[in-house]
């Protein structure tokens, strides 16, 4: 098996590999650190990687010793950094990180990225929406790894989409870096421990959720299971929806500030909280809320939400222009004709009773939520840079601006607000090309299912950055393509009330998805009733994690903060 350079073959091929492994008596932390250091410079030849590269090289190693880390002592591991060389010498390298734990469980876990990537995936943290009361994957014994998807944000942090000017970098970001990183890491894992991983998993959220679906669709034999959280699966089609929303919010007088959005949120809660059987500050029956709520006629604290006469008369109401913009946010974009990937529409957002940003005060978590949603200043021409902070345009607007400038027109001076995503004119062919590349929308997952693969998907009902309704649409299409029986044999999709995009001050989700996936793959135990906990809104509160289209309804008695007081219904 072609793997690393001969200089390091003896070291890396040993089962103990110099790390503190079970059964490797007499190995000290100092020896482990020294041997880990000796890995520096090892290489993986291009012939061992399933897509074209010029091979991979380890650029640095560091032994990270055992440390006390809540909720369990974090075991030592060898942190390996490396580069996968592009075929195009003008393209950036794919930078990756591989963590080799001292006490290996025999399994590997690839971690996805986020946004436009450009930074190393968070391979030493808990999984997105992971259980706060259990060890992280390294603590569980997983060899974890991930990459920056083939470009470096630090080169131009104000222009995170600039990499797309290079074709190989664009393809790497779209999905090719996933295969290249997987093959490189698996070669190093097998050589290091003397045997390959017995199970291989993938987990990610947002862009990382799209990446989870990409590996399932494109390389169904590579992974035994995947966790896709709030997946931006049809990424280019979502970009077009971002453009439609951005243009609506940029209309004079249409952008609702944080105070106005707080009033909109409050009005939604007052109208829809009790639809699940109890007033507890959490909307669970969001679909019914979508049907009954109209910001033009809604009230908040007994007064109209709409400003008198539709004019902007202050922060306690929304003008007609702002109501129109929020209705755009809540509605689908329709593609006539369909885009190149075959998509005919992309869903709008759950909007009513959803936290799209409120005055943060001293709350860093709320400030993050504001940044990930509609920001604090309106879209403009030219679009302001969008670093996280107190002055940010809607995340959608910054993302759209970068996509238009660097993916579509490849003109950094182009006015992104001038491109109508529903009537792209001369840019239609390029947009069709990008949707074929970026939309991960294959719905026949038979190859993955037949391989024995299992797929868990979860999405917060209150996500303001990737539409929950788009994920619902994808899952319905998979079921229509494969049939309910075959789909149920390998896929589960859950929705989390109150949970936003990766974080929430309303209901911040904590769910042990990895154990659920392991039991399904390794023990043949399908997921039973699942419970999700809240770590921020009401810390310790739990809810049943209902399989779509179910939602948790209060049973009529019992502790409103206990999952046992709710039942999943589909009415």
Which residues are known catalytic residues? Answer: 206, 463, 501
What is the DSSP secondary structure assignment for residue 282, as one 8-state letter?
A: -
- The per-residue DSSP string of 190-254 comes to HHHHSS--SEEEEEEETHHHHHHHHHHHH-TTS-SEEEEES---BHHHHHHHHHHHHHHHHSTT-
CA dist list (Å): 40 to 44, 122, 138, 495, 523 = 12, 21, 21, 44, 38
**Bridge partners (DSSP) listed for residue 64:** 77
Using only the alpha carbons of the chain, give its radius of gyration: 24
User: Any idea how long the chain is?
Assistant: 571
Spell 431-454 as b/e; 16+ CB within 10 A means b: bbbbbebbbbbbeebeebbeeebb
Rounded Cα distance between 27 and 510, Å, is 37
Q: How, if at all, do strands 107-111 and 94-101 pair?
A: unpaired
Cα→Cα distances 296→246, 264, 286, 356, Å: 21, 11, 18, 18
For residue 387, count other CB atoms closer than 10 A to its CB: 12
Is 116 within 8 Å of 161 (Cβ atoms)? yes
Tell me the DSSP string of 435-484: HHHHB------HHHHHTT-EEEEEEETT-SSS-HHHHHHHHHHHHHHH-H
């Amino acid at each position: 098996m072609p793997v690393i350079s001969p200089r390091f073959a003896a070291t890396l091929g040993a089962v103990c590999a110099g790390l503190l492994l079970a059964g490797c008596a007499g190995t000290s932390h100092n020896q482990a650190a020294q041997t880990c250091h000796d890995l520096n410079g090892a290489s993986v030849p291009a012939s061992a990687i399933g897509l074209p590269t010029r091979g991979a090289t380890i650029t640095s190693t560091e032994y990270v010793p055992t440390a006390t880390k809540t909720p369990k002592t974090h075991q030592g591991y060898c942190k390996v950094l490396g580069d996968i060389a592009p075929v195009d010498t003008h393209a950036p390298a794919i930078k990756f990180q591989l963590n080799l734990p001292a006490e290996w469980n025999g399994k590997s876990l690839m971690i996805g990225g986020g946004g436009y990537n450009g930074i190393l995936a968070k391979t030493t943290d808990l999984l997105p929406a992971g259980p706060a009361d259990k060890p992280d994957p390294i603590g569980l014994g997983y060899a974890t790894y991930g990459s920056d998807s083939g470009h470096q944000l630090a080169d131009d942090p104000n222009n995170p989409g600039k990499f797309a000017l290079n074709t190989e970098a664009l393809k790497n970001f779209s999905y090719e870096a996933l295969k290249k990183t997987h093959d490189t890491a698996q070669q190093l894992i097998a050589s290091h421990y003397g045997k390959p991983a017995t199970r291989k998993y993938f987990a990610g959220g947002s862009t990382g959720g799209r990446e989870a679906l990409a590996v399932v669709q494109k390389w169904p034999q590579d992974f035994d299971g995947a966790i896709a959280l709030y997946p931006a699966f049809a990424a280019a089609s979502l970009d077009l929806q971002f453009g439609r929303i951005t243009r609506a919010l940029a209309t004079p007088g249409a952008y609702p500030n944080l105070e106005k959005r707080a009033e909109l949120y409050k009005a939604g809660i007052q109208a829809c909280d009790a639809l699940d059987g109890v007033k507890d500050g959490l909307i669970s029956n969001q679909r019914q809320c979508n049907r009954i709520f109209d910001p033009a006629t809604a009230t908040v604290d007994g007064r109209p939400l709409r400003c008198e006469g539709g004019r902007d008369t202050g922060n306690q109401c929304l003008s007609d222009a702002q109501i129109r913009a929020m209705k755009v946010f809540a509605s689908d974009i329709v593609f006539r004709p369909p885009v190149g990937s075959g998509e005919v529409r992309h869903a709008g957002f759950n909007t009513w009773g959803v936290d799209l940003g409120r005055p943060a005060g001293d709350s860093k978590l709320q400030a993050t939520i504001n940044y990930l949603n509609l920001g604090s200043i309106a879209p403009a021409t030219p679009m302001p840079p969008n670093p996280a902070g107190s002055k940010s345009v809607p995340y959608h607007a910054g993302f759209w601006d970068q996509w238009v400038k660097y993916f579509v027109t490849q003109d950094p001076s182009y006015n992104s607000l001038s491109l109508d995503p529903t009537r792209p004119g001369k840019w239609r062919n390029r947009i069709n090309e990008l949707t074929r590349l970026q939309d991960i929308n294959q719905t026949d997952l038979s190859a993955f299912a037949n391989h024995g693969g299992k797929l868990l998907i979860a999405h917060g009902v209150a996500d303001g950055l990737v539409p929950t309704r788009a994920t619902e649409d994808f899952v319905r299409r998979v079921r229509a393509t494969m049939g309910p029986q075959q789909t149920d044999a390998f896929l589960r999709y859950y929705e989390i009330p109150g949970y936003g995009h990766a974080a929430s001050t309303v209901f911040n989700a904590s769910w042990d998805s990895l154990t659920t996936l392991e039991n399904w793959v390794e023990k043949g135990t399908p997921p039973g009733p699942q419970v999700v906990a809240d770590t921020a809104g009401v810390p310790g509160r739990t809810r049943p994690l209902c399989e779509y289209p179910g939602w948790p309804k209060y049973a009529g008695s019992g502790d409103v903060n206990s999952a046992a007081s709710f039942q999943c219904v589909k009415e």
